């Protein structure tokens, strides 16, 4: 019988096995070789070989033991947190935050600086990254990836910022400049897309392979997951729903809304509009999310205010749903998180009345730093994939 001439197949299988085992350890914590064998449908011998290879590479270590009944205790294996680090950066018009996370995703260092009026984005990123790494007590050489989350359109081909309404100084060519500044690779991603990744992994999406994440706050944005993957569009503008033409979003002068003016949907339900709706119903607030908090606390007294906000949100949700027909719509951003289940229920009711769509509208659950969490996940995904290229 002729011998097989596919020497690459066993090596590929080893890589896939190692990748699957490491993923389980990173997501579910320490496990024995027997547990890994069972969960990956491999033999115990194969699982032992996987652990040996991963230990040799410094990716896995023994962190304890577990009694298995008869015989000696079984070793517990876990991913090595200090194997490498990533830094996530959340860019805003007033402040920029940085967080350094270890290989398991645990945040070990933080930094925050005031950037209002700054015209040197490279200096801003340099400082916040350096400060976060220093706070973590590690060297920059231990960092493998830096991910910036920023408002605006990111060109999928070049990874450069193409357009950002709130950050005029953050311009095309920034990613190139940052990669010349830092040894770790630098990536820039739209902030709402990063928040979408955070909700996809551990939030309100509930494991759906097709869903949209709608950000409502001072600005508006939409993250789209299709077949489990983030969809950015040809130019990176997918999800810029602030410019969605909707009823009630016309200019006061009757002129045409353009890219150089505040978008139509932004006029209807952006942060300023929510504050105005709140004031009309007796809920004065400085921030849009505070309007939701006050209206919900008022019970029946806040119902009319919540209904008007829900109607404004539903205009955009309907437009998205009749095009994409997602399984789930996750409401996020400061307004979505503050509104919670109360707002989500009202938006769902309004949506089903406006069009023949009936998505599950839910409240986002990654309330704590969703953009930062998404940036760290994005960075760790890139690092972990590169280990097995």
Q: What is the mean pLDDT of the chain?
A: 90
Spatial CB neighbours of 35, under 8 Å, sequence gap ≥ 6: none
Sign of CA dihedral 119, 125, 126, 132: positive
Confidence of residue 4 (pLDDT cuts 50, 70, 90): very low
CATH 3.30.420.40 occupies which residues in the chain? Answer: 85-194+371-387, 206-365
Mean pLDDT, residues 156-170 taken together: 77
Q: How far is CA 268 from the centre of its chain?
A: 25
CB 44 within 8 Å of CB 36: no
Say what the pLDDT of residue 263 is. 83
Find the farthest-apart pair of alpha carbons in the chain and give their distance in angstroms, rounded: 85
Task: Please give the share of the chain, as a percent, with pLDDT higher than 70.
Answer: 92
pLDDT at 251: 65
Q: Quick check: 145 pLDDT over 70?
A: yes
d(CA 346, CA 130): 44
Question: Is 349's pLDDT higher than 90?
Answer: yes
**pLDDT at 2 (0 to 100):** 46
* Least confident residue range of 32-36, 127-131, 314-318: 32-36
CATH topology of domain 206-365: Nucleotidyltransferase; domain 5 (3.30.420)
Q: Determine the 3-state secondary structure of 187 from DSSP.
A: strand
User: What pLDDT was estimated at residue 152?
Assistant: 84
Give the integer Cα–Cα distance in Å for 154 and 284: 36
What DSSP character marks residue 220? E
pLDDT at 6: 44
- Is the per-residue pLDDT at 70 higher than 70? no
Contact yes or no for 148/167 (Cβ under 8 A): no
* Phi, psi torsion values for 247, nearest 5 degrees: -60, 135
Closest listed residue to residue 187, CA positions, set 164, 155, 165: 155
Confidence class of residue 25 from pLDDT cuts 50, 70 and 90? very high
Q: What is the pLDDT of residue 202?
A: 83
* pLDDT value of position 258: 58
36-47 pLDDT per residue, tens: 999 988 888 888
Give the pLDDT confidence of 191-200 residue by residue, as tens digits.
999 999 999 9
What pLDDT digit, counting tens, does each position of 192-251 carry? 999 999 999 888 888 889 999 999 999 999 999 999 999 999 989 899 999 899 888 776
Instruction: Tell me what the mean pLDDT of segment 101-128 comes to.
Output: 91
Residue 255 is predicted with a pLDDT of 61
User: Top-level CATH class of 85-194+371-387?
Assistant: alpha beta
Instruction: Pick the range with the lowest mean pLDDT from 21-25, 338-342, 356-360.
Output: 356-360
Domain with CATH 1.10.10.10 in the chain: 8-79
**CATH for the stretch 8-79:** 1.10.10.10
pLDDT at res. 3: 46
Which one has a higher pLDDT value, 159 or 4?
Answer: 159
The closest alpha carbon to 99, from 124, 108, 91, belongs to 108
What pLDDT shows up at residue 257? Answer: 62
Beta bridge partners of 143: 85
Element containing residue 273 per DSSP (H, E): helix 271-280
């Amino acid at each position: 019988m002729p011998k097989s001439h596919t020497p690459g197949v066993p090596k590929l299988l080893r890589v896939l096995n190692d990748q699957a085992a490491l993923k389980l350890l990173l997501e579910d914590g320490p496990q024995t070789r027997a547990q890994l064998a069972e969960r990956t449908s491999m033999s115990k011998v194969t699982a032992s070989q996987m652990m040996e290879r991963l230990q040799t590479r410094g990716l896995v270590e023994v962190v304890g033991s577990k009694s298995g009944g008869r015989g000696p205790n079984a070793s517990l294996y876990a991913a090595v947190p200090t194997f490498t680090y990533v830094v996530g950066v959340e860019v805003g018009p007033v402040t920029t935050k940085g967080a350094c996370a270890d290989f398991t995703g645990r945040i070990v260092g933080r930094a925050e600086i005031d950037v209002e009026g700054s015209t040197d984005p490279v200096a801003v990123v340099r400082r916040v990254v350096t400060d976060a790494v220093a706070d973590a007590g590690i060297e920059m050489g231990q960092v493998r990836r830096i991910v910036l989350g920023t408002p605006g359109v990111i060109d999928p081909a070049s990874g450069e910022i193409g357009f950002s309404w709130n950050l005029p100084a953050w311009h095309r060519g920034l990613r190139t400049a940052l990669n010349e500044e830092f040894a770790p690779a630098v990536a820039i991603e739209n902030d709402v897309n990063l928040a979408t990744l955070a909700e996809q992994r551990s939030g309100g999406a509930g494991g759906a392979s097709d869903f949209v994440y709608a950000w409502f706050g001072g600005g508006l944005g939409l993250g789209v997951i299709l077949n489990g993957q983030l969809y950015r569009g040809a130019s990176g503008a997918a999800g810029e729903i602030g410019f969605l033409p909707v009823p009630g979003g016309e200019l006061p002068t009757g002129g045409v809304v353009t890219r150089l003016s505040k978008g139509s949907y932004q006029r209807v339900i952006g942060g300023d509009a929510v504050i105005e709706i709140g004031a009309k119903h007796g809920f004065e607030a400085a921030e849009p999310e505070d309007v939701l908090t006050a209206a919900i606390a008022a019970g029946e007294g806040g119902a009319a205010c919540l209904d008007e906000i829900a109607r404004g949100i539903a205009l955009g949700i309907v437009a998205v749903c009749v095009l994409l027909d997602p399984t789930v719509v996750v409401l996020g951003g400061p307004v979505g998180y503050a509104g919670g289940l109360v707002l989500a229920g009202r938006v769902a009711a309004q949506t089903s009345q406006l069009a023949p769509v009936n998505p599950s509208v839910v409240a986002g659950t990654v309330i704590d730093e969703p953009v930062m969490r998404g940036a760290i996940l994005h960075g760790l995904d890139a690092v972990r994939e590169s280990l097995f290229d």
